[in-house]
Structure 1
Amino acid sequence: MIEIKKKDITYKPAGQFEETRFEKIHNVIFESSDEASAKVAEEIAELIRKKQSKGKACVLGLATGSSPIRVYDELVRMHREEGLSFKNVITFNLDEYLPMDKENRQSYFHFMHEQLFDHIDILPENINIPDGMISSESTKEYCLAYEQKIREAGGIDFQLLGIGRTGHVGFNEPGSHYNSGTRVITLDHITRVDAAPAFLGIDNVPRKAITMGIATVRSARRIVLLAWGQNKAGIIKKTIEGEISPQVPATYLQEHENCTFVLDKAAGSELTRNKTPWLVDESLDWTDNLTAKAVVWLCSTVDKSILHLTDKDYNDNGMSGLLAQEDSYDLNIRMFNRLQHTITGWPGGKPDADDTKRPERAKPAKKRVIIFSPHPDDDVISMGGTFDRLVDQGHEVHVAYQTSGNIAVSDKDALRYAEISKRISSSHEAQTIIDTIKSKKESSVDSLEVRNLKGNIRRGESYAATRYLGLEDSNVHFLDLPFYETGTIKKNNLSEEDIKIMMDIIKTVEPHQMYAAGDLADPHGTHKVCLDAVFEAMARLKSEPFMEDCWLWLYRGAWHEWDVDQIEMAVPLSPDQVLRKRNAIFCHQSQKDGVMFQGEDSREFWMRAEERNKDTAAKYNALGLADYAAMEAFVRYKLE
């Protein structure tokens, strides 16, 4: 439970809050968002019960978006399994798009009922969500009335928040005033980009919204802000460690006396105590991994390669404790060798070579390999050069596309393919699909026939890419994991059927090597579910004899790359291989020129992948290692 006092916490998260000269907001960091969400739900439930015992209403301010979903799931579970009643609860939602009909699937009215209200015993008259269809002439009066209704309810006891990449809370975008109240606001372009996946394109995202103001939020007696994932790490650092500024509206929460930021490890990764802990604590336990992290950071800070670092560089940058354990000369050589040993042009292992200082085993010389790809293009986007190397070096490579990726195909592309199909061979099925797409209403779910067409478009593009890289069609597997096949952005939880499918492909191939996407910053969460499926399948197959010889390598690249100190295998790419990788990505034509799921990077995937690969190579070179055109990076996952 999170106590009412600002700095008292009675649960034990992964990283306790420390009052440092950097941090200005109370925060706790958990190993996972699931664990964190459960703890926040416990606090809300305790508050509801406490109010019930006194015969009082409990007034909750609620947020939408992906961050609070697990909190709502846990509250629903408590209602069903523990008898938690919501009859004394009054809710006020933060915001709503404008204009937005409440029956629209993208409305926050629909979201709240789907995620929470339809599954608990809250009284309908106690639910308050801003009206997305209020006329422009009535907005001022409506907003004042919304504020008045909050006051009449006794004020907000507990306000749940998320945070946007602009630093917005609610829809209080940069420039919002400290004393702002409920009002209509124009959405920042970045906010609309982030919302684009849910709306199947930025052109469908409303430009305005109605939102509680900063002053309204700050009037809550208790505030808890949730943030998950690497893509929130930057704004979390600015909010917790930066100066109060209207350009980062969440920084206003620094002056709230009872506010806690609840983070997972990724969201808290950029905080000084996590990113550069030697600047906070001089009595660190200098593990090998922490030492590598510090040395790489130091090279970047003083603009030197590893072997040029001096005692003064270490002492001037908070690392005197490290030098007390090891001479800088020996330390530099050890860290240089550590990085050098990660580089290999043989991702499947170099045959008949001494592998004691190589990232992969020499034996067996020809390995069975599975490349797991969450979507039908992640394989070539994130490890296309390594894929090419593995095939060229004679390994038995299999690619397993975990989901169909059908939701990422636009209606425009689907219509084009359906019309081509009809021209080739006129059919009732093709005409039905054409009519369905043309009559489709905004935000409606695709029919099964349309989803199948979109899935087949992605399959055809996948075959084009794998054939280009020289892989036989028989080694390409489309798993179509059921959790994905909802037809909407919101996916189901991982099921036994999903895990069985994963186990079956692993048991069939009996791989020596597997590759999976460890890039958990994708804007709609599919990568995380797919990785969880890999981990669970491995755990259940742990006792199988072939698993003793099976190594799992995690790749990134679509949204973020591994930090250099984390990399355990770096595969150099020649200029020709960079071009081959680009051509393989180009085979996925439906994902070029305006792909819907871009995340925080507006460039096409081939552009961002190339730049990240080149940037990784440049970082290695800056540290004093060989100069390559590009590098793909991997971290090994070790099953416990």
Structure 2
Amino acid sequence: MVTHTKTAYQPVGQFEDTRFEKIHNVIYNTSIEGSILVANEIAQLIKDKQKENQNCILGLATGSSPIKVYEELVRQHKEEGLSFSNVITFNLDEYYPMEKNNIQSYHYFMHEHLFNHVNILPENIHVPDGTIDSENLYQYCIDYEMKIKSYGGLDFQLLGIGRTGHIGFNEPGSHINSGTRIITLDHITRVDAAPSFIGIDNVPRKAITMGIGTIKNAKRIVLMAWGANKSKIIQETIEGEISSLVPATYLQQHNNTSFILDEEASSDLTRVKTPWLVKSCIWNDALKLKAVVWLSDLLKKPILKLTDKDYNDNGMSSLISQEGTAYDLNIKMFNTLQQTITGWPGGKPNSDDTYRPERANPEKKRVIIFSPHPDDDVISMGGTFDRLVAQGHDVHIAYQTSGNIAVSDEEALKFAEISRELNPDLEKANNIISFLSSKQDNDVIDSKEVRLLKGHIRKSESLAATRYLGLPDKNVHFLNLPFYETGTIKKGKLSETDVNILIELIEEIKPHQIYAAGDLADPHGTHKVCLDAIFKALDQIKNKDYMKDCWVWLYRGAWHEWDSHEIEMAVPLSPDQVLRKRHAIFYHQSQKDGVMFQGGDSREFWVRVEDRNRLTAKKYNDFGLADYAAIEAFKRYHF
């Protein structure tokens, strides 16, 4: 266990030393909460240095993790007078080659999110230069390293972490004493960057990065990680052995490092995932189910076959002591899982709903399915969508964004050329063809006409899918939330206008059920913004009379699925329904082959979601429950 120095800037939060953890870490409810605490620590350091008439030397990171930190620092500068006049910054890395004015460059990123909005002196900003010619690159890296040392080293280093365990761009294999240098990027790193570059082929293969040794020489290090897609590498880094294959593990040797995590990023830590292995637990119903499901999976035994010895041998003797016998506990947890399964997602009419996930009444429900993109509905809950329509509910689909950014130029050009064949004098088609034919740089923002065409492509595909599932066009709503319509990967901030559009639809329909995407691991963050918009809307209207009868169900499926113990409604699909769902997904032809925002999974969406639904069904069967072809899973959100 590494002993960590407590500094005047230590974040406030919950941390429990365990025999598993080798790096100090603090878990917050949300990334926003954690980001504000980190920003406060940086701000306090700047102020303390000002009092001592000293410069504050900051090592800064890019990527999605530090954005909220920079937003808070900008707010403190503008609203509270935080001065950056004594701040000198050194950024971790930069793609190579890369022009400074390229919107994918880290030089552009830092000015966009921080430097353009505070009073830092231009000469105090240092970002690795991606334009240095190869002959002078080696000396440039040495000079960058020496400049950091000339200021006495870094007072504070801010870090994110990649799925390979890289910090900066120190990929697996990096040496503990490495300095600033050119490095070849790991394939996984390039895959993760691909959404921002409109495809992996456009992602640079090399980068300039500070070294592990440079980072470790910082007096204080804070690493931030948000979201479920970082949970595995966070667990490996904090609890694993030091290895060059996971470069972030070198931070175990730094005596003043903190990891700042949200709940999802921390979910694989032993004290979070299996707290009974770490400490005495207060066994509520949720923790009992989590423990029994975990034990069943660990031992590969159905729940009803678990024994007292199984529980005692795996750190759960206190649970058996509380429950009496494994027999009693097993039946209770088996029934809890059994009661999540329903073929009636809108509730089964004229039945006792005491042990069913949904209400029997009203028999016919008004339903809104919110879909962040124009295909998330059928990808993630196509079978449930089909059931709701077939069972006679008043189902409405609300596509929150146009999804136009995900349509390739080649696809748009194909449709424009068809339009021109039908009408050679069509000016819009000719303008689109001319624009796309001359477009060479992926940084070029599409013209309004091109964006409209791409949006129409997604709209027509959505209508084809919803018609196939029997939904009338009048029940399909294209909201085109303004935050998305920037023409670039980077979206605008969620606004009151976005939220009001949702409120207006909810108030019009007065739903008994709302389905929303709780899958926050999408590569470019649209799902999270769309879910935040729904939560904000619900918060504003939750006291309306009609909302007392409204239940909210969160679906996943495109990237991650709910863990078995989290599932509160499991909708089984027959083999025929699996095929109907696949057919509905196929109507989204522009997204079928070579989808632009694939994430780290190279399988097509219909393949990955079928595999995921099949795996959920297999898990239920492994627990001793019925054997289904596939299961779609939902978790209820209490607003």
- TM-score normalised by structure 2 residue count: 0.98
Q: Deviations over 1:572-608 (max 9, x none)?
A: 0000000110111111111112112122212111011
In 2, distance between residues paired with 1:442 and 1:391?
41
Q: CA deviation at 1:535?
A: 1.2
Q: CA deviation at 1:135?
A: 1.3
In 2, distance between residues paired with 1:109 and 1:485?
24
| Contact 2:11–2:41 (Cα < 8 Å) also in 1 | no
Match of 2:342 in 1: 344
In 2, distance between residues paired with 1:241 and 1:229?
18
| Contact 1:187–1:208 (Cα < 8 Å) also in 2 | yes
Match of 2:416 in 1: 418
Q: Deviations over 1:372-418 (max 9, x none)?
A: 00000000000000000000111110000001111111111111111
Match of 1:325 in 2: 322
Aligned ranges 1:388-467 → 2 under 5 Å: 388-426=386-424, 427-440=426-439, 441-467=441-467
Distance 1:311 1:280, change over 3 A: same
Q: 1:234 aligns with which of 232, 242, 246?
A: 232
Match of 2:268 in 1: 270
Distance 1:120 1:534, change over 3 A: same
Match of 1:215 in 2: 213
Match of 1:134 in 2: 132
Match of 1:288 in 2: 285
2:564 counterpart letter in structure 1: V
| Contact 2:9–2:44 (Cα < 8 Å) also in 1 | no
In 1, distance between residues paired with 2:123 and 2:558?
45
Q: CA deviation at 1:184?
A: 0.5
Q: CA deviation at 1:293?
A: 0.3
Match of 1:93 in 2: 91
Q: 1:52 aligns with which of 32, 50, 53?
A: 50
Match of 1:630 in 2: 630
| Contact 1:351–1:363 (Cα < 8 Å) also in 2 | yes
Aligned ranges 1:155-194 → 2 under 5 Å: 155-194=153-192
Aligned ranges 1:345-360 → 2 under 5 Å: 345-360=343-358
Match of 1:481 in 2: 481
| Contact 1:6–1:257 (Cα < 8 Å) also in 2 | no
In 1, distance between residues paired with 2:228 and 2:317?
30
1:141 counterpart letter in structure 2: Q
Q: 1:308 aligns with which of 305, 309, 332?
A: 305
2:463 counterpart letter in structure 1: Y
1:75 counterpart letter in structure 2: L
In 1, distance between residues paired with 2:185 and 2:593?
24
In 2, distance between residues paired with 1:139 and 1:603?
38
Task: For residue 137 of structure 1, give the secondary structure of its aligned residue in structure 2.
Answer: helix
Q: CA deviation at 1:524?
A: 1.0
Q: CA deviation at 1:442?
A: 2.8
2:540 counterpart letter in structure 1: R
2:142 counterpart letter in structure 1: L
In 1, distance between residues paired with 2:616 and 2:569?
12
Match of 2:557 in 1: 557
In 2, distance between residues paired with 1:552 and 1:7?
43
Q: CA deviation at 1:11?
A: 5.2
Task: For residue 421 of structure 1, give the secondary structure of its aligned residue in structure 2.
Answer: helix
Task: For residue 79 of structure 2, give the secondary structure of its aligned residue in structure 1.
Answer: helix
Q: CA deviation at 1:29?
A: 0.4
Q: Which runs of 5+ in 2 are unaligned?
A: none
Q: CA deviation at 1:10?
A: 6.2
| Contact 1:523–1:599 (Cα < 8 Å) also in 2 | yes
Task: For residue 514 of structure 1, give the secondary structure of its aligned residue in structure 2.
Answer: strand
Match of 1:602 in 2: 602
| Contact 2:83–2:118 (Cα < 8 Å) also in 1 | yes
| Contact 1:175–1:246 (Cα < 8 Å) also in 2 | yes
Q: CA deviation at 1:438?
A: 2.0
Match of 1:586 in 2: 586
Task: For residue 135 of structure 2, give the secondary structure of its aligned residue in structure 1.
Answer: coil
Distance 1:11 1:218, change over 3 A: closer
Distance 1:561 1:355, change over 3 A: same
Match of 2:118 in 1: 120
1:515 counterpart letter in structure 2: Y
| Contact 2:616–2:630 (Cα < 8 Å) also in 1 | yes
Q: CA deviation at 1:226?
A: 0.6
2:22 counterpart letter in structure 1: K
2:307 counterpart letter in structure 1: T
1:300 counterpart letter in structure 2: D
- Deviation larger for 539-548 or 466-475: 539-548
2:107 counterpart letter in structure 1: F
2:265 counterpart letter in structure 1: A
Q: CA deviation at 1:489?
A: 1.6
1:258 counterpart letter in structure 2: N
Q: Deviations over 1:185-221 (max 9, x none)?
A: 0000000000000000000000001100100111111
Distance 1:416 1:135, change over 3 A: same
Q: Deviations over 1:45-90 (max 9, x none)?
A: 0111111111111000000000000000000001000111111111
In 2, distance between residues paired with 1:296 and 1:4?
35
Q: Deviations over 1:318-368 (max 9, x none)?
A: 000101101211110000000000000000011111111110011111111
Task: For residue 151 of structure 1, give the secondary structure of its aligned residue in structure 2.
Answer: helix
Q: CA deviation at 1:494?
A: 1.4
In 1, distance between residues paired with 2:125 and 2:155?
15
Distance 1:10 1:173, change over 3 A: closer
In 1, distance between residues paired with 2:379 and 2:312?
41
In 1, distance between residues paired with 2:288 and 2:598?
34
Match of 1:30 in 2: 28
| Contact 2:36–2:68 (Cα < 8 Å) also in 1 | yes
2:257 counterpart letter in structure 1: C
| Contact 2:569–2:635 (Cα < 8 Å) also in 1 | yes
| Contact 1:7–1:26 (Cα < 8 Å) also in 2 | no
| Contact 2:9–2:41 (Cα < 8 Å) also in 1 | no
Q: Which runs of 5+ in 1 are unaligned?
A: none
| Contact 2:375–2:585 (Cα < 8 Å) also in 1 | yes
Task: For residue 324 of structure 1, give the secondary structure of its aligned residue in structure 2.
Answer: helix
In 2, distance between residues paired with 1:248 and 1:221?
22
Match of 1:381 in 2: 379
Q: CA deviation at 1:546?
A: 1.0
Task: For residue 322 of structure 2, give the secondary structure of its aligned residue in structure 1.
Answer: coil
In 2, distance between residues paired with 1:100 and 1:438?
24
In 2, distance between residues paired with 1:569 and 1:144?
58
Task: For residue 631 of structure 1, give the secondary structure of its aligned residue in structure 2.
Answer: strand
Q: 1:154 aligns with which of 139, 144, 152?
A: 152
| Contact 2:104–2:196 (Cα < 8 Å) also in 1 | yes
| Contact 2:173–2:247 (Cα < 8 Å) also in 1 | yes
Aligned-residue CA RMSD (Å) = 1.2
Calculate percent identity across the aligned residue pairs: 70
| Contact 1:314–1:323 (Cα < 8 Å) also in 2 | yes
2:432 counterpart letter in structure 1: I
1:429 counterpart letter in structure 2: K
In 1, distance between residues paired with 2:345 and 2:89?
54
Match of 1:297 in 2: 294
Distance 1:354 1:341, change over 3 A: same
Q: CA deviation at 1:273?
A: 0.3
In 2, distance between residues paired with 1:322 and 1:26?
29
- TM-score normalised by structure 1 residue count: 0.98
